[in-house]
Chains A and B, each alone.
Chain A
Amino acid sequence: MRKMLSFANRTMKEILRDPLTMAFGLGFPVVLLLLLSIIQANIPVDMFEPSHLTPGITVFGLSFMTLFSAQLISKDRTSSLLTRLYTTPLKATDFILGYLLPVIPLCIAQAVICYILALILGLQFSVNIIWAILMILVPSFFYIALGLLCGSAMTEKQVGGICGALLTNLSAWLSGIWFDISMLGKGIKTFANALPFIHAVELERAMVLGDIKAALPHLWWVLGYGIALMAIAVFVFLRQMKKQ
């Protein structure tokens, strides 16, 4: 346990000490929330109501966590530090948990900051917000697993393109955060519904409203994707570790 925690502590420090983490991980969702709230103040749109918008922004922010963890893992894979650590008593599970666990508090912190800002901007406080923050763990699980998978399978350059551009765009446009996805047509709607992004946002929205019944179907979608992706990610990570 101590060995794994030492490695996890290092992962946390490497992520937090990268200035891009603060700028994009925390800054970007906050700026988005502020800008869209300003639009809402001038031209009222239902989609931009704080109770509707904030859950979506918190989920969108998680795509940056995928980017940060994938970048660190892919960078580590090319470094001699990982070679050195492979010769220590650290086990494969220590490496996997050491990469995954430090990202969880960052996901929670990001959600907390977004909801605090939303409260300042006019979101009505209710105990449901606490549940929504706790429920962010489920989409976080999916996004963290995606980070482990991308970091294990891709180069640092590929991670920048796939996670930095493709994933953030998928997460932004196919999640129904800022517009109704049915506006894009039936085909796109079906495609978006088959992916976990829209379900993650709807799960959080239902939690903010305290509607557990509405949350459940989305919970299974996100959890299912998370578990499947984690299994693939662990397999790929172990394969890469052996290959290295």
Chain B
Amino acid sequence: MKNAIEIKGLTKDYKDIRAVDNLDLDIREGELFALLGVNGAGKTTTIKMLCCITQPTSGDALLNGKSIASDAPDVKKIIAVSPQETAVAPNLSVKENLNLMCGVHGLDKQRTIQRTKQMIEEFKLDRIQNKKASKLSGGWQRRLSIAMALISEPQILFLDEPTLGLDVIARSELWDTIRELKGKMTIILTTHYMEEAEELSDRIGVMRDGHLLAVGTAAELKEKTGEEKFENAFIKLVKGGAV
């Protein structure tokens, strides 16, 4: 299978702190890859570099063959991000938020109408389409946030802590949504929830102090650490270093 993302020696320094240290990683096309790690592990910095928000200090990554270091405008055409906090325009309605994303991606009027309608149907937003985003519950805002990321039909989707702060029902519903996206595009998910990574991902990468400690399926990581529960495997990996 073709690689959607090829990361080579990606490094980011902030003054005297090395947030990401010489990261090498390949992510396959259509794969849902989860990046796990405690706070300060370097997950968000890695995502920021892959999304062209932050310039790497050294190294590069190719996203469907386009370099984040030298082809950032082209990379931005094929990616979409659903950031950690709910990234919606609060005073705009659900429909207007979706239209905004179509507009900033340069979709024409007809395509905007078509894609907005499609997203409203797929994410079951029809009842609330004219409601201001600020008036929605956390779960609905997060759902809108993901719909906004998908409206431009990205080849690679970054989901940064998509279910953070959601209740059990909202989280379960969002998991269903993410499951439906699997295979349609390459998805990179960062999360703090072990069960989320285990339940949704094809492969998991565990980070600590800017280093990638281990990569594999949840079953492989459990086997490597000799643990039955994935959470214990994660703890063992992070406490014990690379396996």
Contacts and interface: CB of A to CB of B under 8 A. Distances in A.
A223 interface: no
A186 interface: no
A221 B148 CA distance: 45
A13 B92 contact: yes
Contacts of B82: 84
Contacts of B86: 80
Contacts of A18: 91
B53 A85 contact: no
Contacts of B148: 84
Nearest to B76: A89
Interface in B106-158: 106, 108, 148-149, 152
B52 interface: yes
A83 interface: yes
Interface stretch (A1-9, A35-43, A107-115, A135-143): A1-9
Given A81-B88, A88-B76, A2 B83 contact: no
B151 to A, nearest CB: 11
A86 interface: yes
Nearest to B51: A87
Interface string B58-96: 000000000000000100110111111111111110001
Given A2-B103, A6-B103, A9-B103, A87 B79 contact: yes
Contact of A84 (B73, B81, B90, B96): B81
Given A5-B103, A84-B83, A13 B53 contact: no
A19 to B, nearest CB: 11
A86 B87 CA distance: 12
A233 B88 CA distance: 26
Nearest to B84: A80
B94 to A, nearest CB: 13
B104 A83 contact: no
B105 A86 contact: no
Contacts of A244: 53
A124 interface: no
Interface residues of B, number: 33
Contact of A79 (B85, B99, B106, B152): B85
A10 B76 contact: no
Interface residues of A, number: 25
A3 B103 contact: yes
B200 interface: no
B141 to A, nearest CB: 11
B100 interface: yes
A68 B235 CA distance: 48
B92 A14 contact: yes
A17 interface: yes
Contact of A6 (B79, B80, B88, B100): B100
A90 B87 contact: no
Given A80-B84, A84-B83, A89-B77, A10 B106 contact: no
Contact of B89 (A2, A5, A10): A10
**Residue among B51, B87, B101 with the highest chain A CB neighbour number at 10 A:** B87
Given A79-B85, A81-B87, A89 B96 contact: no
A85 B88 CA distance: 10
A81 B96 CA distance: 14
A89 B73 contact: yes
Interface in B3-58: 51-53
Interface in A45-91: 79-81, 83-91
Nearest to B108: A2
A9 B96 CA distance: 10
Given A2-B108, A5-B103, A89-B76, 5 more contacts: A3-B106, A7-B100, A14-B89, A80-B86, A87-B53
Interface of A: 2-3, 5-7, 9-10, 13-14, 17-18, 79-81, 83-91, 94, 244
17 contacts: A2-B108, A6-B99, A6-B102, A13-B91, A80-B86, A81-B87, A81-B88, A81-B89, A83-B53, A83-B81, A84-B87, A87-B79, A88-B105, A89-B73, A89-B106, A90-B104, A94-B104
